[in-house]
């Protein structure tokens, strides 16, 4: 597999500074070396330009009364991500996109979805990212990314991020344990499949992840996998902006990524998001992100 690393030092979509340093921290964790050790060809496409929030006005108000901080800037960056991901796919490489906050997924998914194609999505996250500008308690777009991809909510008077290639019935959220009230309602009313940590406790992680991948690949041309490091328990991944107790363990996370690797012929794109080295302990979370990416792309003990 030919992999191209793309960094997006984005923190416009989050409340807490630090995730803009995520791409550097993950690279420092020897990401390329780990991928190359098992035979992957890896190139680094560098970082995309992202404006500094201190230099911009968040201007969160929306025409319909909702809130979406740094909407214009986030839209511009995501358009650049879309172009970079689309170019990577056209060159026959698999984009490995490093965040940055989870709003970058809006651009990654749009770039991964080719014309006249269908794209499944597996979203490993403690949060649903299913808010809209009308339901969000914070105005942070990283908590709206998946809803925006599915065309929910009005951003500047339009369903700005809608990616028609992605059908709700081919989206699986895995490991949820922290949803806002309005977000809960939207998830229940949608056709996405949502697995909470209680589902994982009851059924076991291998069964849940296998089913999630079946959903994402059912009738689709390819899949996108989005891994938010806060999916793991904070004892395993302390360096994240929005930690939530009760997440998956180190071994469970590797098991999930090993399951993803069984579908790597259908894996169009992969992203690692929400690593915050300011909050980390000796770069533990970034190094773990590197390990998990290697497992997702096929690294094995034997």
3-state secondary structure 247-292: CECHHHHHHHHHHHHCCCCCEEEEEEECECHHHCCCCHHHHHHHHH
Cis peptide before 209, with omega less than 30 degrees from 0? no
Confidence of residue 162 (pLDDT cuts 50, 70, 90): very high
Concatenated DSSP letters of the chain: -EEEEEEE---TTSSSTTGGGHHHHHHHTTHHHHHHHTT-EEEEEEE-----GGGS----B-TTS-B-TTHHHHHHHHHHHHHHHHHHHHTT-EEEEEESSGGGHHHHHHHHS-TT--EEEEEE-SB-----TTT-SS--GGGTHHHHHTT-S-BTTB-TT--TT--GGGEEEEEE-B--HHHHHHHHHSS-EEEEHHHHHHH-HHHHHHHHHHHHHTT-SEEEEEEEGGGB-TTT---BSS--SS-B-HHHHHHHHHHHHTTTTTEEEEEEE-B-GGG-STTHHHHHHHHHHHHHTT----
Confidence of residue 157 (pLDDT cuts 50, 70, 90): confident
Side-chain half-sphere exposure of 14, counting CA atoms within 13 A: 22
- Express as a percent the part of the chain with pLDDT over 90: 89
- Would you call 162 a catalytic residue per the annotation? no
Q: What is the CATH number of the domain that holds 258?
A: 3.40.800.10
Which residue of the set 274, 280, 287, 291 is catalytic?
Answer: 274
Name the CA radius of gyration of the chain, rounded. Answer: 17
- Would you call 125 a catalytic residue per the annotation? yes
Which residue of the set 47, 125, 258, 291 is catalytic?
Answer: 125
pLDDT single digits (tens) 223-281: 999 999 999 999 999 999 899 999 999 999 999 999 999 999 999 999 999 999 999 99
- Would you call 142 a catalytic residue per the annotation? yes
Residue 189: predicted pLDDT: 97
Which residue of the set 142, 178, 183, 291 is catalytic?
Answer: 142
Q: Please state the rounded mean pLDDT for residues 203-232.
A: 98
Which residue of the set 20, 178, 228, 258 is catalytic?
Answer: 228
301 within a domain of the structure (yes/no): no
Residue 24: predicted pLDDT: 98
Average pLDDT in the chain: 96
- Would you call 30 a catalytic residue per the annotation? no
90 within a domain of the structure (yes/no): yes
Which residue of the set 20, 73, 101, 129 is catalytic?
Answer: 129
302 within a domain of the structure (yes/no): no
- Would you call 76 a catalytic residue per the annotation? no
Residue 103: is its pLDDT beyond 90? yes
The answer to pTM > 0.95 is: yes
114 within a domain of the structure (yes/no): yes
Residue 43: predicted pLDDT: 97
- Express as a percent the part of the chain with pLDDT over 70: 100
pLDDT single digits (tens) 55-75: 888 887 888 779 999 999 999
Q: Could you list the residue range(s) of the whole structural domain that residue 40 is in?
A: 2-296
Number of domains in the chain: 1
Residue 61: predicted pLDDT: 81
Beta carbons within 10 angstroms of residue 16's beta carbon: 15
The candidate with the shortest Cα–Cα distance to 260, out of 220, 208, 301, is 208
Which residue of the set 127, 178, 224, 258 is catalytic?
Answer: 127
- Would you call 224 a catalytic residue per the annotation? no
Which residue of the set 20, 93, 101, 230 is catalytic?
Answer: 230
71 within a domain of the structure (yes/no): yes
Which residue of the set 11, 47, 73, 102 is catalytic?
Answer: 102
282 within a domain of the structure (yes/no): yes
pLDDT single digits (tens) 18-68: 999 999 999 999 999 999 998 899 999 999 999 988 888 888 788 877 999
């Amino acid at each position: 597999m030919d992999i191209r690393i793309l960094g997006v030092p984005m923190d416009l979509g989050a409340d807490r500074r630090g995730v803009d340093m995520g791409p550097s921290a993950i690279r420092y964790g020897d990401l390329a070396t780990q991928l190359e050790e098992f035979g992957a060809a890896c190139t680094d496409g560098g970082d995309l330009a992202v404006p500094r929030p201190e230099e911009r006005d968040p201007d969160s108000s929306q025409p319909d009364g909702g809130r979406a901080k740094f909407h214009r800037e986030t839209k511009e960056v995501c358009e650049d991500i879309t172009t970079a991901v689309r170019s990577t796919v056209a060159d026959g490489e698999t984009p490995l996109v490093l965040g940055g906050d989870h709003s970058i997924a809006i651009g990654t998914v749009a770039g991964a979805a080719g014309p006249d194609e269908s794209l499944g999505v597996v979203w490993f996250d403690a949060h649903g990212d299913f808010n809209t500008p009308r339901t969000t308690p914070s105005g942070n777009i990283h908590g709206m990314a998946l809803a925006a991809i599915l065309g929910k909510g009005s951003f500047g008077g339009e369903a700005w991020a809608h990616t028609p290639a992605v059908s709700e019935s081919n989206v699986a959220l895995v490991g949820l344990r922290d949803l806002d009230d309005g977000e809960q309602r939207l998830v229940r009313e949608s056709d996405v499949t949502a697995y909470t940590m209680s589902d994982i406790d009851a059924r076991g992680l291998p069964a849940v992840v296998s089913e999630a991948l079946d959903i994402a690949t059912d009738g689709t041309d390819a899949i996108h996998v989005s891994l938010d490091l806060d999916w793991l328990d904070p004892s395993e991944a302390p360096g994240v902006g929005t930690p939530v107790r009760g997440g998956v363990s180190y071994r469970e996370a590797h098991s999930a990524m090993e399951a993803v690797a069984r579908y790597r012929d259908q894996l169009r794109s992969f992203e690692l998001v929400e690593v915050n080295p300011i909050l980390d302990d000796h770069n533990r979370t970034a190094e773990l992100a590197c390990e998990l990416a290697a497992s997702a792309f096929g690294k094995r003990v034997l």
